[in-house]
Structure 1
Amino acid sequence: MSFKVEVAYDAKATLGEGPHWDEANQRLFWVDILEKQLHIYQPHDNQMTTRVFDQYIGACVLTESGNLLLAMKNGIYHYSLLTEEKTKLADPEHTLPNNRFNDGKCDPAGRFWAGTMSLNEEKEQGSLYRLDSTGNIKKMLSPVTISNGLAWSPDQTYMYYIDTPTREVKVFRFDSTTGDITSTNQVIKIPPEMGYPDGMTIDEEGMLWIAHWGGSRITRWNPQTAKQLDEIPIPAKNVTSCTFGGKHLDELYITTARVGMNEIELEEYPLSGSLFKCKLPVKGIAPYLFHS
């Protein structure tokens, strides 16, 4: 299938990441981790506003009350969009100053899952955590190296997870009531020539859409058969994440990065760091909100 990819916003992000669709207000939140920026993109008038913070910001998710949770360098914070007040909820790695939070998402029951990594990408220095509405935070997987993409199956019985350097998407059985996960032998293996799996999302058919760092593409996979179904070429070297948005949840928003690219690569991929958009023949699932 051929796809039409367009630039939604030429942001020239250093490390664009973490797109989160605000269904109620028809806008997209996303971050530039290394620039410590939260972007708010409004498709209806193609405008983007930016809020700058005092530390790296790896991920953002909406709460049921219409505010945000931010996974940052020094912990997880509640952030008021109205007052811009930031309140720390948890800092499970306060004894690990060389770590930061990276990707994060809410599960179907409204718990926030977010993982960490070493600032210089040291092997197996990170973990995946789960934060619930009472403020209790629990380490769910450890050790990991670059905690990244998360998704849950439409029937809420599986969780999918990426630790980028493994080049694998691991499949876990998921108990939505307890939030517990159980390992399975199922795994999607990403071939080296396709780069590294980074962020991902899932459509209403239960198929995964995976962003490829160093691979200039988004791919669609069946997680039960571990077979690739489709591919969207992206005019950026490092594709970091994607999420469904739009009025009908049939537009894929795609984040990319410029970090680490040399002049020759930037000439080849001048749109690196842009926010891209692609209309799809399948719909996504609205992002889950943090239950507070």
Structure 2
Amino acid sequence: MDVLDHRICELGEGVLWHPLREELFWFDITGKRLLSHHPATGHTRAVPLTEMCSAAAWIDHDHLLVASETGLWTYDVGTGDFGHLADLEADNPATRSNDGRADPWGGFWIGTMGKNAEPGAGAIYRYFGGELRKIADGISIPNALCFDEGRGCGYFADTDARLLFRVPLDKAGWPTDAPEVFVDFTHAGLSPDGAVTDAAGTLWVALWGAGAVIEVSPDGTLGARHELAAPHATCPAFGGPEFTTLYCTSATQGLGAGALAEAPLSGALFAQPGAGQGKAEPAFKLDTGDA
């Protein structure tokens, strides 16, 4: 993968291809910035934020749903205005949001974690139809929130535990049973970070510490790796006019001077055209959330 955007993030995360704007949005969580890049024009923006934000979904051409350390918000791309939707552990200053993604029903899944990655301090919530409901807890670093093509299950990871989970979903997108381990990455010595599913249901999982995005088949088989020149790959996304370009954020967090000298592109945004066949992310629905 090659660098698309050289702006360095301490903790790049949450890359989203907006299908109507054909524009990428992502966050530097600890740097408190919302970044964007329009590949066709080269136009970029960097929006300073008042608190840590980590993930987004698109609502319409001009609005995003943004997850922050205290809540879920609407964001007007044109005016820069934020509107409050729901509190997200706003009474707990020790936690922040992390990975998040819109689901196929128009809801939004979002993980929380301790600001110092305290063991078991995190949880996963779903916001749907105006309701924020906790669907998993006791998680250290929630990541890899994504969904299979047939709407039958969702996925999430605990990066600290090196486990990728699968959870069955009902026709409205709510879990019907406890999550089960889908892939145990400990045997491969890998740490799963963000993930996205492609048009065939294959998961593309960023590997924190391994400098790659790895394909994982719907039956849990590890496949091809897509390398990038940054050890901390954080979040993949498909985009481009045909959804065939793989994008991935990265981070400098936790890398010493020696590691940064060896990987000076750490923290940049990477791209690989023709990597696979992705699909558009579903929109988040501000109304009742009915599919």
Query: Considering the TM-score relative to the shorter chain, is it more than 0.5?
Result: yes
Question: Residue type of the partner of 1:56?
Answer: M
- Distance in 1 (alpha carbons) for counterparts of 2:216 and 2:46: 33
Q: Is the 8 A contact 1:21 1:28 kept in 2?
A: yes
Give the 5 Å matches for 1:58-207. Answer: 58-64=54-60, 66-133=62-129, 135-183=130-178, 185-191=180-186, 194-207=189-202
Tell me what 1:14 maps to. Answer: 10
Q: CA deviation at 1:45?
A: 2.5
- Distance in 1 (alpha carbons) for counterparts of 2:13 and 2:171: 26
Using structure 1 for the length normalisation, give the TM-score. 0.94
- Distance in 2 (alpha carbons) for counterparts of 1:271 and 1:82: 30
Question: Residue type of the partner of 2:200?
Answer: E
How big is the alpha-carbon RMSD for the aligned residues of Structure 1 and Structure 2?
1.5
- Distance in 1 (alpha carbons) for counterparts of 2:187 and 2:258: 22
Question: Residue type of the partner of 2:159?
Answer: T
Q: CA deviation at 1:48?
A: 1.6
Q: Is the 8 A contact 1:36 1:55 kept in 2?
A: yes
- Distance in 2 (alpha carbons) for counterparts of 1:98 and 1:140: 20
- The answer to whether 1:275 aligns with 2:259 is no
- Give ranges in structure 2 of 5+ residues lacking alignment: 287-291
Q: How many percent identity over aligned positions?
A: 30
Q: CA deviation at 1:178?
A: 4.7
Using structure 2 for the length normalisation, give the TM-score. 0.94
Q: CA deviation at 1:94?
A: 2.4
Tell me what 2:244 maps to. Answer: 250
Q: CA deviation at 1:194?
A: 4.4
- Distance in 2 (alpha carbons) for counterparts of 1:235 and 1:105: 25
- Distance in 2 (alpha carbons) for counterparts of 1:268 and 1:92: 38
- Distance in 2 (alpha carbons) for counterparts of 1:177 and 1:127: 21
Q: Is the 8 A contact 1:12 1:272 kept in 2?
A: yes
Q: CA deviation at 1:290?
A: 0.6
Q: CA deviation at 1:106?
A: 0.7
Tell me what 2:210 maps to. Answer: 215
Tell me what 1:28 maps to. Answer: 24
Q: Is the 8 A contact 2:69 2:88 kept in 1?
A: no
Question: Residue type of the partner of 2:265?
Answer: L
1:263-283 CA distance string (max 9 Å, x none): 110111011011000123531
Structure 1 residues 176 and 84, CA gap change in structure 2 (3 angstroms) = farther
Question: Residue type of the partner of 2:194?
Answer: G
SS at match of 1:183: coil
Question: Residue type of the partner of 1:137?
Answer: L
Q: CA deviation at 1:72?
A: 0.5
